[in-house]
Structure 1
Amino acid sequence: MEITTSQYEKISPLLPRQRGNVSLSNLDVLNAILYVAEHGCKWRGLPKRFGNWHTIYTRMNRWAKSGVLDRVFSELQHQDIIRVKVEAVSLDSTIVKVHPDGTGAFKKNGPQAIGKSRGGWTTKIHLVAADARTAVNFSLSPGNTHDAAPGRELLKTSNLSANFVIMDRAYEGNETRQLVLDLGMTPVVPPWEYNRELYKKRNEVERLFRRLKGFRRIFSRFDKLDVVFTFFIHFALVIDAISVNRP
């Protein structure tokens, strides 16, 4: 997989301007990051055709810490390349196992949503999806935390304009139900009375998780810090968005 020039043009104005005599263009760097994201290789393992691995890593790290792709993702939503005005959204989470390379950093270096459960060291990705290809928002929590509290925080910060929120039984508590109602939406979750036909759309968030986990750097967490792991999630969502001709 490679980002084409036409795809790149959809986001190039949103990326930092290159100044001075730089050896690698932003497109070159994005394609190198795409290779790492897809294959899960170490930065040192980048094929030489992409250029100096350290230059690419440095730019990626700078973009991650300055929130470059967070802003690109938000702007794509605003431009309606990613569509968020839908009848119903789905809320769910998925577990990501943490590779040994992703453990052991000092906490003072930044937040690390990593927890130990029966499956070992894991992270949870909580995600609100508009459909099988469209993420509205996401967050991270340690893998040993319950879904409900992080799910509520995500709903509060997602600026949703949907009529329904589809959830599974992990979110059936009264606090979550009341929050959804307070936000002006209707919860669709068993065992309460719910729209069974609409509930079938819950598989869309599962399909979106499957798309995300097609990227090796998301299927397994190799990164110690949340800011870098979050960068790869935003990266995958942006690449998916610019790769599709949306109506």
Structure 2
Amino acid sequence: MEITTEQFKIIEHLLPVQRGNVKLSNIQVLNAVLYVAEHGCKWRGLPDYFGNWHSIYTRVNRWAKKGVLDDVFSVLQEADVINIQVDHVSLDSTIIKVHPDGTGAFKKNGPQAIGKSRGGWTTKVHMVAADDQTAVTFSLSPGQVGDAPEGRKLLKKLENCGWEGAQVIMDKAYEGDETRQLVIDLNMEPVVPPRMNRISPWAYDREMYKKRNEVERLFRRLKGFRRIFSRFEKLDAVFRFFIHFALIVDKLISVNRP
């Protein structure tokens, strides 16, 4: 798989213009990143036809620290939200196993959402999705952190989005009173099943709840990238870079998806 010239034109104007004697174009760098993301190889393992691996790594590292793909994702996401009718969103999380190469960085180097749970060293990706192809926002947390607190942080970002009346689909990890009240305060409707030990269980839209699989399908496609299926990056900034990259590539491919 590679990013075509037609697909690249969609985001070309959003990327930094390279100045000086630069041999590698931005599309060459993005396709090199795609190779690393798909195969999960080390930067040194890039085939020679991509160019000097260290030059590619240096540019990627610079983009990651500046949040270049964060901005690209935001522009594409805003365009998606405008073009689709948002009547519901899904909130969920997934656990990413951290490779031994992804641990050991000094804390002073930057945030590292890595924690030890029963599954070992892990990172959680929390995400709100408008459908199976449209991520609204996401965040990272150590693997042992609960879903509900991080979920509330993401939900607060939906304030003033103009989605009043939309339904928020969540699993039982988010059925706490505080989370449901937050959704109501946002003038949205929580769609979440009560736990079996609830003294006063509530009714919920069971048919709408089936659409929770949309965010799960989005996670499944993201984990098709080996660099996301396992976390190799020590710093959150670089791991977020790969997640943003995968979401952007998935969006570019969806342009030609039937």
Instruction: Select the residue among 210, 221, 225 that pairs with 1:215.
Output: 225
- Residues in 1 aligned to 2:81 and 2:188: alpha-carbon distance in whole angstroms: 24
**Alignment match, 1:244:** 254
**Alignment match, 1:155:** 155
Tell me whether 1:61 sits opposite 2:61 in the alignment. yes
**Alignment match, 2:198:** none
Moved over 6 A (4+): none
Q: Could you say if the C-alpha distance between residues 83 and 150 of structure 1 is closer, same or farther in structure 2, counting changes exceeding 3 Å?
A: farther
- Residues in 1 aligned to 2:47 and 2:162: alpha-carbon distance in whole angstroms: 44
Structure 2 counterpart of 1:214, which letter? G
Give the superposed CA RMSD: 1.5
For residues 78-98 of structure 1, the C-alpha deviation after alignment (integer angstroms, 9 at most, x for no partner) is 333885641000000000000
- Cα contact 1:125–1:141 (8 A) shared by 2: yes
- Residues in 2 aligned to 1:15 and 1:82: alpha-carbon distance in whole angstroms: 22
- Residues in 1 aligned to 2:85 and 2:72: alpha-carbon distance in whole angstroms: 18
- Residues in 2 aligned to 1:195 and 1:219: alpha-carbon distance in whole angstroms: 32
**Alignment match, 1:166:** 169
Please report the TM-score for the alignment, with normalisation by the length of structure 2: 0.93
- Residues in 2 aligned to 1:57 and 1:85: alpha-carbon distance in whole angstroms: 39
- Cα contact 2:77–2:134 (8 A) shared by 1: no
Q: Please state whether the residue corresponding to 2:224 is helix, strand or coil.
A: coil
- Residues in 2 aligned to 1:217 and 1:42: alpha-carbon distance in whole angstroms: 10
**Alignment match, 1:120:** 120
Q: Could you say if the C-alpha distance between residues 209 and 150 of structure 1 is closer, same or farther in structure 2, counting changes exceeding 3 Å?
A: same
**Alignment match, 1:131:** 131
Tell me whether 1:182 sits opposite 2:192 in the alignment. no
Q: Could you say if the C-alpha distance between residues 224 and 169 of structure 1 is closer, same or farther in structure 2, counting changes exceeding 3 Å?
A: same
- Residues in 2 aligned to 1:57 and 1:23: alpha-carbon distance in whole angstroms: 14
Q: Could you say if the C-alpha distance between residues 31 and 82 of structure 1 is closer, same or farther in structure 2, counting changes exceeding 3 Å?
A: farther
Structure 2 counterpart of 1:52, which letter? N
- Residues in 2 aligned to 1:113 and 1:64: alpha-carbon distance in whole angstroms: 16
Please report the TM-score for the alignment, with normalisation by the length of structure 1: 0.97
- Residues in 2 aligned to 1:145 and 1:40: alpha-carbon distance in whole angstroms: 26
- Residues in 2 aligned to 1:141 and 1:77: alpha-carbon distance in whole angstroms: 22
**Alignment match, 1:73:** 73
For residues 188-207 of structure 1, the C-alpha deviation after alignment (integer angstroms, 9 at most, x for no partner) is 00013210010000011110
Task: Mark the runs of 5 or more structure 1 residues left unpaired by the alignment.
Answer: none
- Cα contact 2:123–2:141 (8 A) shared by 1: yes
- Residues in 1 aligned to 2:229 and 2:187: alpha-carbon distance in whole angstroms: 34
Task: Mark the runs of 5 or more structure 2 residues left unpaired by the alignment.
Answer: 195-201
- Residues in 1 aligned to 2:185 and 2:93: alpha-carbon distance in whole angstroms: 22
- Residues in 1 aligned to 2:148 and 2:36: alpha-carbon distance in whole angstroms: 33
Instruction: Select the residue among 209, 213, 224 that pairs with 1:199.
Output: 209
Q: Please state whether the residue corresponding to 2:80 is helix, strand or coil.
A: coil
For residues 224-246 of structure 1, the C-alpha deviation after alignment (integer angstroms, 9 at most, x for no partner) is 10000000000000011111227
For residues 59-84 of structure 1, the C-alpha deviation after alignment (integer angstroms, 9 at most, x for no partner) is 00000000000000111123338856
- Residues in 2 aligned to 1:103 and 1:84: alpha-carbon distance in whole angstroms: 40
Structure 1 counterpart of 2:178, which letter? E
- Residues in 1 aligned to 2:49 and 2:217: alpha-carbon distance in whole angstroms: 33
- Cα contact 2:11–2:72 (8 A) shared by 1: yes
Tell me whether 1:232 sits opposite 2:242 in the alignment. yes
